[in-house]
Every structure is written in C-alpha cells, then in structure tokens.
Amino acid sequence: MSSTLIHTEHPGPAIEGRFARRIKSVFRKMAREPLVHFLLLGLLIFAASAIVTKHRENAGRRIVIDKNLVVHFITLYEAQMGTLPSKSQLDGMIDDYVREEVQFREAKHMGLDNDDEIVRRRLASKFDFLQRDLVAVPEPSAEELQRYYASHRNDFLQPASVTFTHIYFSPDHGGDAVAHSRAEQSLAKFQSAKVTRAPEPGDRFPLQSDYADVQRLDLLQQFGDSPIVERVFATPTKQWAGPVRSGYGWHLVYVSDREEARVPPLKEIQDKVRAAYIEDMKEKANQARYDALAKEYVIERNYLR
C-alpha cells in the first residue's frame, strides 16, 4: 500500500515583501489626498470637542462648599438672627444651598432661563447693582458741595407744613345741615372764649384730632382731596376757622403754626447734599460706563423701517 504525500509550500519572503510594499504605497497615496487630511482633521476636532464637552459637563455637576461659603452663611445668619447658627442649622443652610444650586443648574441646562422676562430683568438689575457698587466717588470739597447745592436748590425744597387741631361734626347725627349748624354755633363760642383746643363739643373722629408739622401730601392721605386740606394751609394762625368740609363731614380748625415751603441753608442739610452729590456722581459714572458698553453692540431698530 502506497501513500501520497501532499506538500504545501508557504509564500516565500519575496511575496511578503511585495505585499508590504503595496500596503506602503497605498498609505503614501492616501497621505497625499486632501480629502484624507480633511477627514483626519475632522476626527481630531470631534475628539477634542467630545473631551472638552465631557470636562465641562463634569465641572458643571461639581458643587464646591468651601470655607468662604460657610463663613458667608454664618455671617448672614448672625446678621439676621443676632446669634451664631447651631451645627444643625448650618447643615440645613448648606443643604438648602445645594438643593437650590442643583435646581438652578438643571433649569439652565433645560434652557428655562431663555426668553424669560423675569430672569432677564433680574440679571439686568443685578448687573446694574454690581456696577453701581463698583463706582467710587471721591469725597467732595466744600466748593464742590456749594456749587452742587446752588445748582440743585429745588431738589432740597422742604414742602410747607402745618400744625393744627380740629373738631369734627358728623352728618350721622341729624344729617349734613345739622352738622354744619352745630359747627357754626361752636365756632362762635370758641372765638369768644379764645380757646385753642376743644375737641369735646364735637363728635368722635375716626382718625386723630391733633396734627403736628404735617405736609400737604400727608393730609391728602388722611382726608382725601377735600377743602379742609387747602384751608389749613391758607387760614390765619392762632384763630378758629370753619366750618370746612372733608369727606367725613364738617370741621372747625385751629392752626397754631405753619411753615412755608423753603430751601434750608447748606449748613442745615450738608449731609443730605453730600449724599445727593455722591449719588448723582455715581449715576453719571454708571451712565458713562453703560454708554461705552452700548457702543460695542449693534442695535438694529427694525420697527422704524
């Protein structure tokens, strides 16, 4: 019995060399193709973007509670409550902060802050507040205060004020005509007796009977837009006058003192003038800063077209 031996020879080194050279040739041709360069560059950009995005996402989900923040919580609590917080109270403040921060970041991630009028105004208001806080105004000299006071005198006008007492006669007791008649009879008695305060003959008034150094706006809030408001600013002092009408009924009034509207001298209101000067300078500085920022934006007023 004979057997046949089949022998298979492996490719020799020459064939392997030719294959390797062909692969290298293909790679060299690809390396010279602009399309390949473009694809490789796109892959690199995509990979870099993915890494940066992942890093940002990780950073956006990292909430740090450092010592400065804890000190802020303690200081805030002490200012509001007058005492230091306990450990449980401090832990509660930190937990509330973490909860709020998580909700805030998730809301931003969902885009809930986009096109929200309240959020927009809140951020604009906060920016304006921070800008105002950064403005430092040099201490004004005496000459600067004097010039500011002279050019803004009307800003420091003190309205007229009056001190008076009144007696009320209610229409609820017999009607409007009876109340007016009772007021006239009482007026004659007061004028002859030269009394300066006599609320007993009148009726119970729902507000007060005596007013000291009150201004017109205060009386409008008390009596409404009625004749008694103007009467107390026009009637002669140190005598009874009336009857005068209000929304409540009839009154007799005795004006003991009245201060006409005036602008106090600078020495009386120097602190007030200084505060107004500093606020005005801050306002002008903030306006100048805003004008500079606005120049960096292109404002397209399409509604004018």
pLDDT, tens digit, for every residue of 185-217? Answer: 888 888 776 777 766 678 888 888 899 999 999
Does residue 23 have a pLDDT over 70? no
Domain count for the chain = 3
Q: What percent of the chain has pLDDT over 90?
A: 27
Q: Is residue 85 part of a domain?
A: no
The arithmetic mean of pLDDT across residues 278-300, rounded, is 84
Quick one: pLDDT at residue 228? Answer: 92
Which residue range forms the structural domain that includes residue 204?
159-259
In order, the DSSP letters of 54-84 are: HHHHHHHT-----HHHHHHHHHHHHHHHSSP
pLDDT of residue 156: 93
Regarding whether 150 and 270 lie in a shared domain, the answer is yes
Determine, yes or no, domain membership for 98.
Answer: no
Say if residue 267 is in the same domain as residue 224. no
What is the reported pLDDT for 233? 92
Same domain, yes or no, for 123 and 167?
A: no
Domain boundary among 45, 60, 75: 60
Same domain? 30 vs 167: no
pLDDT at 39: 67
Residue 26 has pLDDT above 60, yes or no: no
Residue 7 maps to a domain: no
**Same structural domain, 254 and 210:** yes
- Distance in angstroms (rounded) separating the CA atoms of residues 152 and 279: 13
- 214 within domain boundaries: yes
51-60, 186-195, 280-289: lowest mean pLDDT where?
A: 51-60
What is the rounded distance in angstroms from the CA atom of residue 74 to the CA atom of residue 83?
9
Instruction: Please identify, among 42, 60, 78, the residue that sits at the C-terminal boundary of a domain.
Output: 60
Q: What is the pLDDT of residue 30?
A: 57
Residue 254 has pLDDT above 70, yes or no: yes
Among all chains, which residue has been given the structure tokens 């809301």?
107
Three-class DSSP category at 276: helix
Confidence of residue 12 (pLDDT cuts 50, 70, 90): low
| Residue 290 pLDDT exceeds 90 | no
Same domain? 214 vs 285: no
Burial letters for 62-87: b for 16+ Cβ neighbours within 10 Å, e otherwise? eeeeeeeeeeebeeebeeeeeeebee
Instruction: Tell whether 123 is covered by a domain.
Output: yes
Q: What percent of the chain clears pLDDT 70, i.e. is strictly above it?
A: 77
Question: Of 114-118, 208-212, 232-236, 248-252, where does mean pLDDT reach its minimum?
Answer: 114-118
Give the separation between CA 51 and CA 84, rounded to whole angstroms.
45
Residue 170 placed within a domain: yes
| 248, part of any domain | yes
Render 187-202 in DSSP notation, one character per residue.
Answer: HHHHHHHT-S---TTS
149 and 271 co-located in one domain: yes
Among 50-59, 105-114, 234-243, the range of highest mean pLDDT: 234-243
Domain harbouring 226, CATH code: 3.10.50.40
Per-residue confidence (pLDDT) for residue 119, from 0 to 100: 82
Q: Are 180 and 216 within one domain?
A: yes
Pick from 229, 225, 222, 224: nearest CA to 244: 229
Task: Kindly state the average pLDDT of the residues 248-266.
Answer: 91
Has residue 178 got a pLDDT over 70? Answer: yes
Does 167 or 111 have the greater pLDDT score?
167
> For residue range 97-155, what is the model confidence (pLDDT) as tens digits?
888 878 788 877 777 777 778 888 888 888 887 777 677 888 999 999 999 999 999 99
Residue of higher predicted confidence among 30 and 132: 132
Same domain, 236 and 247: yes
Q: Dig out the tokens for 153 from the structure.
A: 């005198």
Residues 42 and 191 in one domain: no
Domain-embedded: residue 197: yes
